[in-house]
Amino acid sequence: MSLVEVDGLSVSFGAVRAVEDLSLRLAKGAALGLVGESGSGKSTVAAALLGLHRGTGAEVTGTVRVAGTDVGTASEAELRALRGGTAAMVFQDPLSSLDPYYAVGDQIAEVYRAHRRVSRRAARARAVRVLDRVGIPDAARRARSRPHEFSGGMRQRALIAMALACEPELLVADEPTTALDVTVQAQILDLLHTLREETGMGLLLVTHDVGVAAESVDEVLVMRHGRAVEHGPVASVLGSPARTYTRRLLKSVPRVDVPRPRPPAGAAPGEVVLEAVGLRRVFGRGAKAFTAVDDVSVEVRRGETLGVVGESGSGKTTLGRMLVGLLEPTAGQVRRDGVAVTGVRRDVQMVFQDPVSSLNPRRSVGESVADPLRARGERDPAVRARVTELLERVGLDAAHYDRYPHEFSGGQRQRVGIARALAADPRVLVCDEPVSALDVTTQAQVVALLDELRRELGLALVFIAHDLAVVRQVSDRLAVMRAGRVVEYGPADGIYRSPRDPYTRQLLAAVPALDPSLAALRRAERREAAAR
């Protein structure tokens, strides 16, 4: 008998079919990856394994058996015993997934006591033990901390500790590393791997990131629109995909090990349009002063893309905001065409990360794009004509002028954001994580659009991102940031081919490899490095 048996599972939320006739098996101790883009139904399947759709109004048909329990017909008590006892779930966002009001250790103890008849004291001791097991330093003391006192990686470890508390046979991990930095992601994936080796528990890993799956599972099931597209051993599915969709998905995945296609010959680098000279930015005062950006000097040339890469807290966003003039530097200069400037200028515009929150939900997208034009004093019908042109330029339908942001997909919204930035006729676009909220296929399209705009309009781009692979695919030159400083700066391909700085090397080594055997090799290297 398999640990997990799913047969003909369908889940609908009202008129929406999230999962359609899905079947899968997971043997004891095996690891299966559910891979798909947003809306593919992968998280819905994960939730169904624990019967989490019960009572939500979702319509579930088909059978789901986990370790012998029929999740569909199980009583409330049986279901509670299954949840956290036999099968434990690790959620995506480790900050919001823990109760902010209670100590981390107490929360784990609460879960333990829901399954074992033990004293509070014994449950606390168990919590400390599992926290220690997942690598929380000084676990006895840190067990008394609230979640907000933990870093993102530690919170994720704490959630995994909660999952381990009752020694489950199955671990369901729903995007467990999506909110984390790449080096922390590597640590968490390594931890999951080790735990699996030691405890022999099965793993069902839900992820949008093909690389993460390649690192962690034996088998992979690719989902699209609620259906299984392809299912097989990870090496063969990723190595020689049989289905068109899988091939397209893999093609969209940005590769950190593949150089960027060369720009057409003859495109000589233009003059320097934007320059940061010894930029420094300090937040707070006195003992609380925090230097977000420290002595950063970079330059951006016309028709060129400067990639800025770094982990959270590296200062890359602060740098971007200073380049645009949204933030005044504490020291140093921003120069445009060699002249020091302050404040926001029309010819340097910004594209923001979150296309949902950076558009006003109560205004039509046309009006949002028109804002910069109206601010300049232009009037209808000229404004309308220009906005129509801009919308078409970024690949949207001009008829979308009067629609509202919620009517668009993530990728379309980001196109609106780009159109708005273009409305001011900028020479430089500073894009802060412009594609990190998007699915890989959409990501590839937006990246292609930005590249096209750069070439055709002769724009200079600053591309700020945490994703090393995406940055490689767009950048002419690269700045690697860490703790406010640029640790490596130069032609992008050179840095990716032979990184000189140890931190850059560490970053690159942490990027999940698409090839499972390479991933195993990398893991061994990381282990060795950690042992040293």
Partner 1 sequence: MSVPHGFLGFALRRALGALVTLLAISVLVYLVFYAAPGDVAQITCGPRCSPAQVQQVAQQLRLDDPLYVRYLHFLQGLFAGHDYSTGTSAEHCPAPCLGLSYQSDQQVTRLILAKLPVTASLALGAMALWLLLGVSAGVLAVWRRGRLEERVLTGITLAGWATPVFVIGLLLMVLVCGQLRWLPFPQYVPFTDDPEQWAWNLLLPWLSLALIEAAKYARLTRAAMLETLAEDHVRTFRAYGVGERAIVRRHALRGAVGPLIALNANDLGSLFGGAVLTESLFGLPGIGRELVHAVNVVDLPVVVGMVLLTGFFVVLASAVADVLYAVADRRTVLS
Contact residues for partner 1, defined by CB under 8 A: 50, 52, 79-85, 88-89, 91, 93, 96-102, 107, 110-111, 114-115, 144, 146, 148, 159, 162
**In this complex, which beta carbon is closest to partner 1, that of residue 120 or of residue 144?**
144
Minimal distance, residue 71 CB to partner 1, in Å: 13
Cα–Cα dist 209/435, whole Å: 14
Residue with smaller CB distance to partner 1, 20 or 110 = 110
In whole angstroms, the minimum distance from the beta carbon of 115 to partner 1 comes to: 6
Q: Is the CB of 89 or the CB of 481 nearer to partner 1?
A: 89
Least distance from partner 1 to the Cβ atom of residue 68, Å: 16
Residue placing its CB nearer to partner 1 in the complex, 78 or 493: 78
Of the two residues 144 and 376, which places its CB atom closer to partner 1 in the complex?
144
Secondary structure in 3-state letters for 377-389:
CCCCCHHHHHHHH
The nearest distance, CB 172 to partner 1, in angstroms, is: 9
3-class secondary-structure state, position 72: coil
| SS3 call for 312 | coil
Q: State which residue, 159 or 249, has the beta carbon closest to partner 1.
A: 159
Q: Where are the beta strands (DSSP E) in 142-271?
A: 170-174, 202-207, 219-224, 227-233
CA distance 255 to 128: 40
Q: By C-beta, is 112 or 503 nearer to partner 1?
A: 112
How far apart are the C-alpha atoms of 179 and 168, rounded to whole Å? 24
The type of residue at 192 is L
Q: How far is the CB of 84 from partner 1 (least distance, A)?
A: 3
- Per-residue DSSP letter, 398: G
Q: Report the nearest approach of partner 1 to the CB of residue 459 (Å).
A: 38
- Rounded CA separation 150/108 (Å): 15
Of 381, 402, 380, 375, nearest to 391 by C-alpha is 402
Cβ nearer to partner 1, comparing 3 with 159: 159
In sequence order, the 6+-apart residues with CB closer than 8 A to the CB of 358 are 352, 417
CA separation for the pair 142, 128 (Å, rounded): 9
* Residue 382 Cβ vs partner 1, minimum distance, rounded to whole Å: 46
In the complex, minimum distance from the CB of residue 290 to partner 1, in angstroms, rounded to a whole number: 14
The rounded distance, in Å, linking the Cα atoms of 492 and 465 is 14
Give the C-alpha separation, 457 to 427, whole Å: 8
Is residue 349 a contact partner of residue 430, using CB atoms and an 8 Å limit?
yes
CB neighbours of residue 149 within 10 Å: 12
Backbone angles phi, psi at 170, to 5 degrees: -130, 135
**For residues 144 and 505, which CB has a smaller minimum distance to partner 1 in the complex?**
144
- Residues facing residue 452 across a β-bridge: none
* Cα–Cα dist 82/93, whole Å: 22
Least separation in angstroms between residue 61's CB and partner 1 is: 22
